[in-house]
Amino acid sequence: MDKVGIGIIGCGNISGAYLTAMASFPILDIRGVADLNRELAEAKAAEFNVPVKSVEELFADPKVEIIVNLTIPKAHVAVAMQALEAGKHTYSEKPLGINFVEGKKLAEAARARNLRIGAAPDTFLGGGHQTARALIDQGVIGQPVGGSASFMCPGHERWHPNPAFYYEVGGGPMLDMGPYYITDLVNLLGPVAQVAGFATTPRAERLITSEPRNGERIPVHVPTHVAGMMAFANGAVVQIAMSFDVAGHKHVPLEVYGTEGTLLVPDPNKFAGPVEYLKKGGAFEDQPVTAPYADGNYRSLGVADMAHAIRSNRPHRANGDLALHVLEVMEAFHTASETGRTVTITTATERPAPLSQSIVDGRLAK
């Protein structure tokens, strides 16, 4: 196999999941990890037995074809731009950028250089979500009518070792968790046409209860409770709530309604999970999960698909058009709240191709 060289920039909390999952994909050749905090990079390199390099060394390495950008959100576009200038394709953690204007500039820069950009989440490629997609495509729910998307928790300061960035510009529940839900809904239903919504900030500061900053108070600079509606181009209307201010709830993460039935879709932050289907007049029943990548955390599947797409000259699924569309939709909730108006989405994206077979030799990657 003609492997694709990977350089990872950013060795924070999420990098371990990426490095663990990358071992599942033989096409990925990890050429090195880098972080502005050299000690952090060295620790991650030692843990996963990969080289540690400087950011400049990764950009200069001719065998690195994709820069995987795992920096904090407000650095995503700056690092991705550097990667493009170095002649590298780039794949970022979500979101693509912290606002639509900078995300659009990144997409334009990639097109001008004939390079690819991609972005998390790739969880929509997991077996549970692809099974739900197949059922919708088969018409089992009839004409899609609507849905419900819910992520509501008390806040990430309970568990994250360094949670302040979740409450800075570029953070908040919509930009942090919204990508999982909205990306999966685009996978299931197609692009969004209009958005209406409200965003509030109930608390001006948060108390960290995780280690090592337990007891420290941090300011809040972004809305932490966002709710609204998405009107999809296919006519479906989906309600959504993303919050860091809810003590607890009983909502299913993602539901899709049709004229002939309802689907309960797995948690969009996970690759696996049960799929339940209710036929009109019947009861909910578990559906067999028939797609691959439903038995673990494959957080780098989007990178592997991108690598295979480069080698076979086909579109990759967690692509820049999809990520930019989702970014515009997320920003639209804040714009709608500030203006009191419904926002028309200007970008369009195609539903990514379904993933019904493993990308590793036609078998489920273990």
The string of pLDDT tens digits covering residues 228-280 is 999 999 999 999 999 999 999 999 999 999 999 999 999 999 999 999 999 99
According to the model, what pLDDT value does residue 361 have?
55
According to the model, what pLDDT value does residue 357 have?
86
According to the model, what pLDDT value does residue 363 have?
46
Give the pairing type, strands 261-265 and 254-258: antiparallel
Separation of alpha carbons 213 and 160, rounded Å: 10
Spatial CB neighbours of 132, under 8 Å, sequence gap ≥ 6: 188, 256, 263, 265, 266, 275
Average pLDDT over residues 70-77: 94
Q: Which residue has the higher pLDDT, 13 or 56?
A: 56
Separation of alpha carbons 51 and 350, rounded Å: 37
pLDDT at residue 84 greater than cutoff 60 = yes
According to the model, what pLDDT value does residue 164 have?
93
Task: Give the start-to-end residue ranges of the domains of the chain.
Answer: 4-123+298-318, 127-287
According to the model, what pLDDT value does residue 356 have?
86
CA distances, 7 to each of 11, 12, 276, 300 (Å) = 11, 15, 39, 13
Angle at 186 between CA 182 and CA 190, to 5 degrees: 150
Q: Count other C-beta atoms under 10 Å from residue 312's C-beta.
A: 8
Q: Please name which of 293, 13, 324, 340 lies closest in space to residue 131, comparing C-alpha atoms.
A: 293
CA distances, 221 to each of 80, 166, 333, 335 (Å) = 25, 9, 16, 16
Q: How is domain 127-287 classified at the architecture level of CATH? A: 2-Layer Sandwich (3.30)
Cβ pair 146, 257 in contact under 8 A = yes
Average pLDDT over residues 335-363: 89
Q: Categorize the per-residue pLDDT at 364 as very low, low, confident or very high, splitting at 50, 70 and 90.
A: very low
According to the model, what pLDDT value does residue 47 have?
96
Average pLDDT over residues 100-129: 98
Residue with structure tokens 């689907």?
263
According to the model, what pLDDT value does residue 366 have?
36
Backbone torsions φ then ψ of 276, nearest 5 degrees: -115, 140
Is residue 212 reached through a cis peptide bond, with omega within 30 degrees of 0 on the bond before it?
yes
User: Helix or strand or coil: residue 107?
Assistant: helix
Q: Categorize the per-residue pLDDT at 365 as very low, low, confident or very high, splitting at 50, 70 and 90.
A: very low
Lowest average pLDDT, out of 8-12, 47-51, 128-132, 169-173, goes to: 169-173
Average pLDDT over residues 115-128: 98
Task: Tell me the CB-side half-sphere exposure of residue 11, using CA atoms within 13 A.
Answer: 24
Separation of alpha carbons 187 and 350, rounded Å: 9
pLDDT at residue 1 greater than cutoff 80 = no
In CATH, what class is 4-123+298-318?
alpha beta
Separation of alpha carbons 76 and 193, rounded Å: 26
Q: Categorize the per-residue pLDDT at 359 as very low, low, confident or very high, splitting at 50, 70 and 90.
A: confident
According to the model, what pLDDT value does residue 31 have?
98
